[in-house]
Amino acid sequence: MQLRFVGCGDAFGSGGRLNTCFHVCGSETNVLIDCGASSLPALKRLEIDRNEIDLILVTHFHGDHFAGLPFFLLDAQFSRRVKPLTIAGPQGIEMRLKQVMEALFEHSSGTKQRFELSVVELAPRQRRSFGTTTVTPYPVVHGESGGPFLAYRIEAEGRTLAYSADTEWTETLIPLAHGADLFIAEAYMYEKVVKNHLSLKTLEQHLPDIGAKRLVLTHMSDDMLSRLDDIEHLAAEDGMVIVF
């Protein structure tokens, strides 16, 4: 199974990186994690077949994680997708999806898709299976607007992937990523502690308790990007592939 960083940037495109969007695929797995505003052109540039994606997991409703969905869905309609698609995310996702569809393309939320579309709310700490993929959401801390905020532990094909999403340090990151084959963690700042975001130095203090087998840093600000030569951890880049 592999993960490709379709986009790994922050909300401001620091370092020219695209908005958050990860593609996980294997023999029976085809999942997108988040779908930021720049996701559709990035998916096309990487020649990822959007119509084979079965599940899109949304961590929260900020534009750099969520605003690519109207483009994705309209592209699916015009490319005559027939395969069913599930979009799953925090409480309120159905209403939020309609709102963003209408904001970007008026009347588009009322369009009847040619394919079966399911929009599913996920509750914190309640495991949910989608085919061969099992998802456990964990609550994280990322401010007031744009939530609820979820991180995901994903089990598929005998592998476990954990993604912190955008969050300041919270103890739920320990069970989220404990023993995971791959832990994708926000490292927005290098050392400075800022509200609602995670710094690398804060994360490093807790890595022994987390005990993930591999770590990849994502959602980095200019502060972090300027220090990449000085850190020992693998940092995501757009287009990068991790096999796990």
Q: Which two tokens stand for residue 113?
A: 């898709």
Q: Are 184 and 216 in contact (CB under 8 A)?
A: yes
Tens digits of per-residue pLDDT, 86-102?
A: 999 999 999 999 999 99
Domain boundaries of the chain, sorted by first residue: 2-236
Angle between helices 69-78 and 93-104 (to 10 degrees): 70
Tens digits of per-residue pLDDT, 195-218?
A: 999 999 999 999 999 999 999 999
Tens digits of per-residue pLDDT, 218-241?
A: 999 999 999 999 999 999 999 999
For the cut 90, the answer to whether the pLDDT of residue 112 exceeds it is: no
For the cut 90, the answer to whether the pLDDT of residue 110 exceeds it is: no
CATH of 2-236 among 1.10.357.10, 3.60.15.10, 3.10.105.10, 3.40.50.720: 3.60.15.10
On whether the pTM is more than 0.95, the answer is: yes
- Residues 156/159/166/232 CA torsion (nearest 10 deg): -160
For the cut 90, the answer to whether the pLDDT of residue 111 exceeds it is: no
Instruction: State the Cα–Cα distance between residues 71 and 38, nearest whole angstrom.
Output: 9
pLDDT value at position 123? 97
- Poorest-confidence range of 28-32, 82-86, 113-117, 197-201? 113-117
Q: What is the mean pLDDT of the chain?
A: 97
pLDDT value at position 113? 86
The catalytic position among 34, 54, 64, 166 is: 64
- 60 band by pLDDT with thresholds 50, 70 and 90: very high
Instruction: State the Cα–Cα distance between residues 199 and 72, nearest whole angstrom.
Output: 31
Contacts of 237 (CB under 8 A, 6+ apart): 5, 8, 17
**Is 64 an active-site residue?**
yes
**Pairing between strand 2-7 and 234-235?**
unpaired
Tens digits of per-residue pLDDT, 135-190?
A: 999 999 999 899 999 999 999 999 999 999 999 999 999 999 999 999 999 999 99
Instruction: State the Cα–Cα distance between residues 130 and 49, nearest whole angstrom.
Output: 19
Instruction: State the Cα–Cα distance between residues 55 and 14, nearest whole angstrom.
Output: 28
Q: Which two tokens stand for residue 236?
A: 């995501």
